[in-house]
Amino acid sequence: MSAATPPRAASEGVAASGAAGRSDGVDRGRRQILAWGAALAGVTLAPGVMLYDLAHGRPPSEPASPKVRWGMLVDLNQCASDCDACVVACDTEHGLPRTKTATSAQWIRKVELKDARGGARSVPVMCQHCADPPCVDVCPTGASFKRADGIVLVDRHTCIGCRYCMMACPYGARTFVHEPVTGQRPEVPRGKGCVESCTLCVHRVDHDRIPACVEACAASGHKALVFGNLNDPESEIARRVASYATSAVRADLRLDPGVRYAGL
Amino acid sequence: MEARHTRGTAWARGLRVVLLLALAGTAAAAGVSASRVPLPALATGAGEACVEDTPTMRRNHMELLKHQRDRTVHEGIRTTRHSLANCVNCHAGKESGRVTGSKDAFCEGCHRYAGVTLDCFDCHADRPGAATTAGAVR
């Protein structure tokens, strides 16, 4: 579980101090102390006071930070089976077709789960933004990649449309563009011959905005989707993941998805 | 053209080439074709000046775009100076509102003239759109 994972800044700080301690030299002990000091200063000034802001206000000229792990919490107890606001918002945001055929692009979908006792759950499923994504493992061109902040994307400039990633993904999260596309949104380029999937609305996240599905879910009154930085203990998503049981779809695969479910 | 039937020395021919090139350069800058060589008549853009000087943009715009593209897709760097959206916002035709679609459109006009395939707009929007800052604040 993400809640059990220490903040990455802290673990990196400890790793750095270990490296300094191993170096040969007369001042080995002093270096060790300096490294510990640096590691401590890097984590906190006082409880709850971070030296740097992990998630907010990243200027456009700065790359995505590996200290951030974007994630989404889906609270299934809040999600209504007759609501598809997230799907509509996703289609609108990215210019995806609203009428779906067997081969249509679909980045988020609602799946009905039934158990043997008759219980039913309506589950929004999208790219789970795994920490160890199988789609990235199998991609022959490096087009499928994970960004430093944990968002799994397809670089359409290098995608050759082989669809290995679609087969490797255990969540069936990716679709292939079969037909020529017109009328794209400027911030969401799409075209025939590439595989695509949920981007966690990376174009909005990079401008300090929340994904379209999360916004639409809140507007519908259900508030089943929570987006945030899993590595920031102060964020709502991290506090909720720490305070009650959440799980991953196909947790047995140990892919450490960034999308987590409560009440699954 | 008056020099058409004259047989000059090599020096005169050289001068003529230089003059023609200078003329072509002026014509391209003014967006009109005044020489025997037809030039694409392109609207230059909405702003005062481009993000780099004209010779740099003519020769290297594809390199600038490629580097910006990799930085944006892989690293999430969203500076607009060399972004394709920035090109489109400024260079979209006044009537058509697009950078493709005709021989007068800024991108397609020149690419047609030069005989170079333009495939950016198979995927990218060829017209300005809504600002990227839409949506609820995190």
Catalogue the E-assigned strands of chain A: 44-46, 49-50, 70-75, 108-114, 120-126, 144-146, 152-154, 175-176, 195-196, 225-229, 259-262
Measuring CA to CA, how many Å separate A40 from each of A22, A33, A35, A201? 19, 11, 9, 34
B130 touches chain A (CB under 8 A): yes
Q: What is the CATH number of the domain that holds A178?
A: 3.30.70.20
What are the tokens at A91?
Answer: 């289609």
User: Are both B47 and B31 inside the same structural domain?
Assistant: no
Residue at B3 is within a domain: no
Q: Which of B22, B25, B17, B20 has the alpha carbon at shortest distance from B36?
A: B20
CA torsion, points A14, A17, A21, A27, in degrees to nearest 10?
A: -150
Report whether A120 contacts A151 (CB < 8 A).
no
Contact B79 A63 (CB under 8 A): no
Nearest chain A residue to B98, by CA: A183
Residue at A63 is within a domain: no
- Cα–Cα distance measured from residue B111 to residue A126, given in angstroms and rounded to the nearest whole number: 39
Q: How many secondary structure helices (H) and strands (E) does chain A include?
A: 8, 11
Nearest chain B residue to A205, by CA: B138
Secondary structure of A95-125 in HEC code, one letter for each residue: CCCCCCCCCCCCCEEEEEEECCCCCEEEEEE
- Cα–Cα distance measured from residue A99 to residue A126, given in angstroms and rounded to the nearest whole number: 18
Mark out the alpha helices in B1-138 (DSSP H runs).
Answer: 10-30, 54-70, 84-91, 106-114
Residue at A171 is within a domain: yes
Contact B122 A191 (CB under 8 A): yes
User: Are both A140 and A107 inside the same structural domain?
Assistant: yes
Interface contacts A/B by beta carbons within 8 Å? 89
CA torsion, points A121, A127, A130, A135, in degrees to nearest 10?
A: 130
Q: What are phi and psi of A174, to 5 degrees?
A: -105, 150
User: Are both A38 and A97 inside the same structural domain?
Assistant: no
Number of separate domains in chain A: 2
Residue at A62 is within a domain: no
User: Are both A40 and A74 inside the same structural domain?
Assistant: no
User: Are both B44 and B75 inside the same structural domain?
Assistant: yes
Burial class (CB in 10 A: 0-12, 13-18, 19+), A10: middle
User: Are both A109 and A208 inside the same structural domain?
Assistant: yes
Nearest CB partner across the interface for A210, out of B70, B88, B138 = B138
Nearest chain A residue to B81, by CA: A61
By percentage, how much of chain A surpasses pLDDT 90? 73
pLDDT (average), residues A41-55: 48
Residue at A15 is within a domain: yes
Q: What is the pLDDT of residue A88?
A: 96
**CB-CB neighbors (< 8 A) of B135 in chain A:** 201, 204, 207, 209-210, 212, 215
Mean pLDDT check: name the lowest of A14-18, A219-223, B83-87. Answer: A14-18
Range of the domain at A200: 70-262
Contact B125 A212 (CB under 8 A): no
User: Are both A45 and A76 inside the same structural domain?
Assistant: no
User: Are both B95 and B29 inside the same structural domain?
Assistant: no
User: Are both A84 and A156 inside the same structural domain?
Assistant: yes
Q: What is the pLDDT of residue A27?
A: 55
The string of pLDDT tens digits covering residues B38-90 is: 888 887 777 788 999 999 999 999 999 999 999 999 999 999 999 999 999 99
Query: If you average pLDDT over every residue of chain B, what do you get?
Result: 79
By percentage, how much of chain A surpasses pLDDT 70? 79
A148 touches chain B (CB under 8 A): yes
Number of separate domains in chain B: 2
Nearest chain A residue to B87, by CA: A186
User: Are both B44 and B58 inside the same structural domain?
Assistant: yes
- Residues in Cβ contact with A115 at an 8 Å cutoff, skipping those fewer than 6 apart: none
User: Are both B67 and B115 inside the same structural domain?
Assistant: yes
User: Are both B78 and B112 inside the same structural domain?
Assistant: yes
B69 touches chain A (CB under 8 A): yes
pLDDT (average), residues A198-206: 96
Which H or E run contains A19?
A: helix A8-22
Q: What is the pLDDT of residue A15?
A: 40
The string of pLDDT tens digits covering residues B15-39 is: 454 444 444 444 455 445 467 888 8
Name which of B66, B72, B73, B83 to mutate to probe chain A: the one with the most chain A Cβ atoms within 10 A of its Cβ: B73
- Cα–Cα distance measured from residue A130 to residue A107, given in angstroms and rounded to the nearest whole number: 15
Contact B132 A186 (CB under 8 A): yes
User: Are both B82 and B21 inside the same structural domain?
Assistant: no
Range of the domain at B50: 40-122
- Residue B102 C-alpha, separation from nearest chain A C-alpha, in angstroms: 17
Query: If you average pLDDT over every residue of chain A, what do you get?
Result: 85
Residue at A59 is within a domain: no
Report whether A60 contacts B77 (CB < 8 A).
yes
Contact B78 A209 (CB under 8 A): no
Residue at B86 is within a domain: yes
- Residues in Cβ contact with A156 at an 8 Å cutoff, skipping those fewer than 6 apart: A143, A189, A190, A191, A194, A196, B123
ipTM of the complex: 0.75
Q: What is the pLDDT of residue B138?
A: 66
User: Are both A197 and A126 inside the same structural domain?
Assistant: yes
> For residue B6, how many other CB atoms are within 10 A of its CB?
9
Report whether A165 contacts A130 (CB < 8 A).
no
- Residue B24 C-alpha, separation from nearest chain A C-alpha, in angstroms: 34
